[in-house]
Amino acid sequence: MGAAGPIGWTVRPNTTANSVIIGRVGTVGAVNLVKSDCWASDNTIVATAGPSLHPAYMYYLLLSARLPELASKTAQPLLTATAVGNQRYPLPDLAEQRRIADFLDAETTRIDNLVAKRRRMRDLLTLKRERFIESALGLERGNSAHRLVPLKYMVESVSVGIVITPAKWYVDSGGIPALRGLNVKPGSINSIDLTHISAEGHAEHIKSRLQAGDVVVVRTGQAGAAAVVPSEFNGANCIDLIIIRPGFKVAPKYLEYVLNSAHARAQISEHAVGSIQAHFNVGAMKQIPLPALPKDEQKETVARLDQAVDKIDRLQGKLAKQERLLAEHRQALITAAVTGQFVVSTASGRNVTEGIAV
């Protein structure tokens, strides 16, 4: 094989059919083959094949090139046309390029179809999960089988975390953990990018201190996402989250299930404000309708839900893992084909997904 470098393609701002558009900023290194004439934004690089380079083969070459690694190592990574154009790649004759491109078209389509099927299965499982939860809670299709009362009458208190200039209390090391919206997902709390505040800030904001068993709810962004505070965050603080202290009438996990249900999400969406990011306030949270079940029945409901939901979540996890394996195999296949690690003419027709857990 020869090598294609700057002379193999040209890089220019206008986009024509069979060009390749590459993400320059934002989605750095994302590669797409253009089938018809179109306009490309300033945030992209456009590569057009020269006479010795088949457009589809160029597309697969660029997919195999790990272009994000060529971007500048700055806060806002930037990929330049020079960095892309100066790379050297294997360049067989045009006939072999066509064979490789045709082979990869067929095999990547097969893999993409397998991935799409697994995504559809995960979507169906998500729908099944939601319907089971609503049915168990007596909230199926929004028609409650139980008496509904405003949340404020069922819980001990509803308050809010630090909302006024919280950044003034941030510290780089040490300090008190402070949960934010990005740490809260429906049914779970993570410590990714966990913020800490000073002891002084913690002392000044006693009302926003958390206790294990509280339920925190996101106010801004993914408004309504709710999770029970685990013991590891007992005594932590929080920023711009709604804090619900369940009290003696409500089981925390039961409240978490109710608030993350489609029924509650619809209520929260109706009361959320903000054109860019949904924003939900304490007053609206207090009015969210809650099934008024005795606490022992709540705990029984939670036990049934935990068992059923765990099975669905494990199935979804297996499907997601299969999707990742297929995506990795797709990338490895492209790289192997364009770098000559196997002869495409002898590979055609074989099951290239063999060995992948699908």
| Statement: residue 102 has pLDDT above 80 | yes
What are the phi and psi torsion angles at 51 (to 5°)?
-65, -25
User: Could you tell me the pLDDT band of residue 149, with boundaries at 50, 70 and 90?
Assistant: very high
The three-state (H, E, C) secondary structure of 234-285, written as one string = CCCEEECEEEEECCCCCCHHHHHHHHHCHHHHHHHHHHCECCCCCECCHHHH
The overall average pLDDT reported for the chain is 85
DSSP tag of 232:
G
- Distance of alpha carbon 196 from alpha carbon 193, whole angstroms: 10
% the chain with pLDDT above 90: 54
User: Which alpha helices (DSSP H) does 27-78 contain, by range?
Assistant: 55-63
pLDDT tens-digit readout, 243-284: 999 999 999 999 999 999 988 888 887 766 654 455 678 888
What are the phi and psi torsion angles at 267 (to 5°)?
-65, -45
List all residues 6 or more positions away from 57 whose beta carbon is below 8 Å from its beta carbon.
97, 98, 100, 101, 338
| Statement: residue 347 has pLDDT above 70 | no
Burial (CB < 10 A; 0-12, 13-18, 19+), residue 102, is middle
Give the least confident one: 107-111, 140-144, 206-210, 321-325: 140-144
pLDDT tens-digit readout, 46-93: 888 888 888 899 899 999 888 888 888 887 888 888 888 887 877 888
